[in-house]
């Protein structure tokens, strides 16, 4: 079925696709591709995520083109006349154009050949129709094709209708052949604020046992997209809850059964709080225009910050408390390993979670601010980022106000005064200064430098001259006979 959606033809996103995604080399390349394919008797269509994003009015960063009615050999020869072409995949040959965000492929057939994400026999078939090719797509919103020559949207599974209804729905029964599609559902639901269709939830539930077949790098890729690009990450997490996949992450699964003191957490249990904090983290990241990586770190910190509560929560006669939950580093580690997070990012997330309560008893101490900044800096993090997490945590407790706590604001003000809100304090006294003071290289120099930096963090001095004066009063200086 070919459906023409005139209402979407007028949208700027599809207009950009029609015009060739702006100016310059990409526009010229696309014009060449569509003209040459047409001259060869074939038909070229935009497919997949670029069409979906264009319909939503979003910039399409990567362009996928599917070519019908042209053999693989003819298509490659045609493209190599104009571009440097790299072919990826022996059986189904995706052709990448060097230096351009354009992938060109032929329609292909897939058949399940075993268990797991990679167990498929795949081969290209240029004789297929666009409607036939769309059957292999995962979700209806990704099964829409666009012909910039005619202006037609080819939408056999009513993906446009699902986009308008903000519904994530699988294309067909073959969805269950690839368990990775469930994690794609996680990130798509979060990125585009979609509700997952009940039938898709049911099929996903049947795939829980297939989770173990997924390569860890593919698991991480989907989680990273979810954290780095979601507008409402809670929708993805809620999908995992409803389809039973949350049980594959015991650290998350335990949150539902963990109560909180309603005086401080009227929103409910730790799971509900976590969903709210994840959304607040995404909101703050968008507000502050964080990079993709920083945004992902903040959202993951929002998800992880209370993972220690199920192990530490006590229900007392007059209150519920979770003393020491922020220090459960091993719990953060377990979850982050399950999703395949790289070590450098995990260090950042863990540091933020560990210090997310450090503001509570703050009384203006510059010493405290310096030491927290150093600890965060050692993990590649900053007080600015910690403040964002604290704001998200504090704001994820409706109907209480969305705001940064006053104590965290005070810490940030002190940090700004010391110019350490975005970086750790740097030692004032360096090895070259001790060399000038006749201290030879060696263990004693290292010991003196460490002692001086510790004193600097304690607020004993704030200038290099102050550091020089302090070091000469240090006991080890005198005992070692150091002199000017």
Contact 180, 222 (CB under 8 A): yes
Distance between CA atoms of 245 and 95, rounded to whole angstroms? Answer: 35
* Long-range contacts of residues 253-259, Cβ cutoff 8 Å, at least 24 apart: 254/310, 255/306, 255/307, 255/309, 255/310, 257/310, 258/309, 258/310, 258/313, 259/313, 259/315, 259/320
Which one, of 247, 71, 241, 43, lies nearest residue 148 by Cα?
Answer: 43
- Are 284 and 388 within 8 A, CB to CB? yes
Q: Residue 144: helix, strand or coil by DSSP?
A: coil
Place of tokens 């038909």: 43
- Measured CA to CA, the distance from residue 124 to residue 118 in angstroms comes to 17
Question: Could you please report the per-residue DSSP string of 70-129?
Answer: S-HHHHHHHHHTTS-EEEE-TTT-EEEETTSSEEEE--EEEEE-SSSTT-EEEEE-TTS-
Residue 475: how many other CB atoms lie within 10 Å: 8
Q: What is the pLDDT of residues 377-412, one digit of tens each?
A: 999 999 999 999 999 999 999 999 999 999 999 999
CB 326 within 8 A of CB 308: yes
117 has a pLDDT exceeding 60? no
Q: What are phi and psi of 196, to 5 degrees?
A: -85, 135
Q: Would you place residue 8 in the very low, low, confident or very high pLDDT band (cuts 50, 70, 90)?
A: very low
Q: Report, as an integer, the average pLDDT of 321-337.
A: 96
Q: What is the mean pLDDT of residues 333-358?
A: 98
- Domains annotated for the chain, with CATH where assigned, are 6-159 (3.30.460.10), 249-417 (1.10.3210), 431-479 (no CATH)
Q: Which residue has the higher pLDDT, 13 or 260?
A: 260
**Mind listing the pLDDT tens digit for each residue in 87-107?**
886 555 799 998 899 999 999
pLDDT of amino acid 3: 46
| Amino acid 102: pLDDT | 93
- Tens of pLDDT, residue by residue over 23-40, are 578 889 999 999 999 999
Provide mean pLDDT across the span 200-227.
97
187's enclosing H/E stretch is helix 180-191
**What does the CA dihedral 431, 435, 440, 442 come to, rounded to 10 degrees?**
10
**Average pLDDT value over all residues in the chain:** 90
Phi, psi of 155, deg, nearest 5: -135, 70
Token duo for residue 267: 């929103």
Dihedral over Cα of 462, 467, 471, 473: its sign: negative
Tally of CA atoms within 13 A in the half-sphere of 223 that contains its CB: 23
pLDDT of residue 5: 46
For residues 439-450, one letter each, b for 16 or more C-beta atoms within 10 angstroms of the residue's C-beta and e for the rest, the string is beeeebeeebbe
Residue 178 CA to residue 204 CA, distance in Å, equals 10
User: How far apart (Å, rounded) are the C-alpha atoms in residues 28 and 35?
Assistant: 11
pLDDT at 353 over 50: yes
pLDDT surpassing 60 at residue 119 = no
pLDDT, residue 324, reads 95
């Amino acid at each position: 079925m070919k459906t023409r959606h005139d209402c979407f033809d007028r949208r700027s996103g599809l207009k950009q696709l029609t015009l060739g995604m702006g100016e310059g080399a990409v526009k010229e390349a696309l014009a060449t591709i569509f003209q040459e394919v047409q001259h060869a008797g074939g038909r070229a269509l935009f497919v997949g995520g670029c069409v979906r994003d264009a319909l939503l009015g979003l910039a399409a960063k990567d362009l996928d083109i599917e070519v019908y009615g042209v053999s693989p050999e003819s298509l490659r020869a045609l493209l190599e006349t104009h571009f440097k072409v790299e072919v990826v995949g022996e059986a189904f040959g995706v052709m990448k154009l060097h230096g351009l965000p354009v992938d060109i492929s032929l329609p292909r057939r897939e058949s399940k050949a075993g268990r797991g994400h990679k167990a498929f026999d795949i081969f290209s078939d240029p004789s297929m129709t666009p409607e036939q090719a769309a059957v292999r797509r995962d979700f209806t919103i990704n099964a829409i094709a666009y012909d910039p020559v005619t202006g037609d949207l080819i939408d056999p599974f009513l993906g446009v209708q699902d986009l308008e209804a903000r519904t994530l729905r699988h294309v067909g029964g073959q969805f269950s052949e690839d368990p990775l599609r469930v994690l794609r559902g996680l990130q798509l639901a979060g990125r585009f604020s979609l509700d997952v269709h009940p039938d898709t939830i049911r099929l996903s539930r049947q795939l829980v046992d297939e989770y173990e077949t997924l390569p860890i790098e593919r698991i991480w890729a989907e989680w990273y997209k979810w954290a780095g690009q979601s507008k409402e990450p809670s929708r993805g997490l809620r999908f995992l809850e409803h389809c039973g996949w949350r049980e594959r992450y015991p650290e998350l699964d335990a949150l539902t059964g963990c109560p909180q003191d309603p005086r401080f957490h009227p929103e409910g249990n730790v799971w509900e709080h976590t969903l709210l904090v994840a959304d607040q983290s995404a909101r703050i990241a968008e507000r502050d225009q964080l990079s993709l990586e920083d945004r992902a770190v903040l959202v993951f910190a929002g998800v992880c910050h209370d993972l220690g509560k199920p192990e530490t929560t006590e229900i007392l006669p007059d209150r519920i408390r979770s003393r020491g939950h922020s220090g459960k580093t091993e719990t953060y580690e377990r979850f982050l390993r399950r999703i395949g997070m790289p070590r450098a990012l995990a260090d950042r997330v863990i540091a933020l979670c560990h210090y997310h309560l450090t503001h509570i008893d703050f009384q203006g101490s510059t010493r405290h601010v310096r030491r927290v900044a150093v600890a965060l800096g050692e993990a590649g993090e900053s007080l600015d980022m910690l403040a964002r997490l604290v704001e998200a945590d504090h704001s994820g407790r409706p109907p209480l106000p969305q705001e940064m706590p006053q104590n965290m604001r005070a810490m940030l003000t002190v940090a700004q005064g010391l110019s350490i809100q975005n970086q750790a304090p740097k030692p004032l006294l360096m090895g070259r200064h001790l060399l000038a003071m006749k201290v030879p290289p060696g263990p004693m120099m290292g010991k003196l430098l460490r002692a001086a930096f510790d004193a600097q963090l304690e607020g004993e001095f704030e200038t290099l001259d102050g550091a020089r004066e302090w070091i000469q009063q240090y006991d080890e200086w005198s005992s070692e006979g150091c002199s000017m």
